[in-house]
Amino acid sequence: MLRLALNVAVVGAGPVGLALALHAARALPQARLTLFDARPADQDVAADPRTLALSLGSVQLLQRLQAWPAEAAQPITTVHVSQVPPSPSPFGPPEVTLSAAEAGVPMLGAVLPYGALVARLQTAWLSAAAAQPERLHTRMGTTVDALKPLPGGVEVDAGIAESFDLAVVAEGGVFAAQARKALVHDYRQTAWVGTLTLEGGADGVAGTAFERFTREGPLALLPLRARADAAPGTRRAAIVWCVDHDDDPVAALSEAQRLAVLACLLPRAAGRPLALSPLKAFPLGLNAERTLVQGTAGEPGRIVRIGNAAQTLHPVAGQGLNLGLRDAYALVDALRLAEQVDAALARVEWARAPDRWGTIATTDFLARSFTWRAPGVAAARSLGLAVLQAAGPLKRALARQMMFGWR
């Protein structure tokens, strides 16, 4: 176990930063932790309606922290992946169905509001900080202006300059607002995000997530927890509708027109679209650092970037936040097991590489494939889906990867 009394700065109090800080507070009893965020402490984070999709592995990690808001979450019991229009295949329909029952788990993941998760994590952190004020510090409403590498540490400039042994940056933001990192690709796609109300559909559809490959890009429906005031026979789902940025087929449409298009694009099993909330648009791109750690190859400083601060991904596979949480847990565990800080950082860089680069490469390939217009691409994708559905071991491997990452 790490015996050094580390002084650690955590920059960013979103889900990844809070999860890391809370895990470190419990796993590294000798460490001093300071959590920075520009968000004021009295801001009502619970009101943030954005939707998060978490894998089973992420749910289990948050349960270990006793910070999982089960009452706000809708379990995902089935994932249905298909293509429109469905091209014929000799191996069967061009679709893949992954189920929790087949995988032998209670759920494949869960969907919940961003605010519900952040509020629970923040409450847990503030409670821990109140119980141990001598080593756990909260600097909400404080913007970190700069990080300056130092030999064996880092200087954090947040109005005043303070020295720390290690700085963990978990403040990422969205692709359009980020400074460009080492690996950048603009997919020239826009994600339209909102909430869709549906009726009907296949049995068990309340826990089903749909991923539909269209000509313009992926269209995802993520099941939301039922509301008490919902009309009988209806349900809600978060929608992520990715389309061509340069020839956007959604921007100029009215709600009624968007509903009509969605009725044509979605599989029959999803049900009939009834109502659609106002949609928000987000440009999509890849923006990633080559390494998580700065300061392990003769460079001065100890700065680790995790979550969106290390890699911002296309939402096609829904793995961005899950990857960030795995980064956070791996970093804390490496610090807990190592006897030297630099050895721990080198270990986490090496250990996270397969999962990190495997997820980045898979997501990037899927996102780029929607820009390919060569004849036969749609047919090849349909064939791949049909073969995957028929190949039990491959399908189980895909389910494990979605739940727990690359191992």
Tokens of 173: 């933001």
Percent of the chain with pLDDT over 70: 88
Q: Is 37 within 8 Å of 194 (Cβ atoms)?
A: no
Of the candidates 394, 397, 392, 385, the one whose C-alpha atom is nearest the C-alpha of residue 90 is 385
- 21-25, 164-168, 264-268, 291-295: segment of lowest average pLDDT: 291-295
DSSP label of 29: T
Position 286 scores a pLDDT of: 94
Give dist(CA 91, CA 84) in Å, integer. Answer: 17
- Mean of per-residue pLDDT scores for the chain: 89
User: What's the first-to-final CA gap in the chain, in angstroms?
Assistant: 24
Q: What topology does CATH give the domain 7-181+285-404?
A: FAD/NAD(P)-binding domain (3.50.50)
Position 367 scores a pLDDT of: 85
Of the candidates 401, 397, 379, the one whose C-alpha atom is nearest the C-alpha of residue 94 is 379
Q: What is the mean pLDDT of residues 131-160?
A: 94
Domain ranges of the chain: 7-181+285-404
pLDDT in tens, 246-271: 999 999 999 999 999 999 999 999 99
Give dist(CA 401, CA 326) in Å, integer. Answer: 13
Q: Is the pLDDT of residue 377 over 90?
A: no
pLDDT in tens, 289-327: 999 998 655 565 699 999 999 999 999 878 889 999 999
Largest CA distance in the chain: 67
Q: Is 199 within 8 Å of 272 (Cβ atoms)?
A: yes
Give dist(CA 269, CA 176) in Å, integer. Answer: 34
Question: Who's near 220: CB < 8 A, 6+ residues apart?
Answer: 209, 210, 211, 212, 239, 240, 241, 315, 316, 318
- 187-201, 244-258, 367-381: segment of lowest average pLDDT: 367-381
Task: Give the model's confidence band at 339: pLDDT under 50 very low, under 70 low, under 90 confident, else very high.
Answer: confident
Tokens of 141: 């409403």
344-370 burial code (b ≥16 CB/10 A, e <16): bbbbbbeebeebbebbbebbbebbebb
Q: What is the mean pLDDT of residues 376-388?
A: 66
Q: What is the mean pLDDT of residues 332-356?
A: 91
Q: Is the pLDDT of residue 352 over 80?
A: yes
Position 96 scores a pLDDT of: 84
Position 93 scores a pLDDT of: 72
Position 175 scores a pLDDT of: 85
Q: Which helix (H) or strand (E) covers residue 64, if one does? A: helix 56-64
Q: Is the pLDDT of residue 406 over 80?
A: no
Percent of the chain with pLDDT over 90: 67
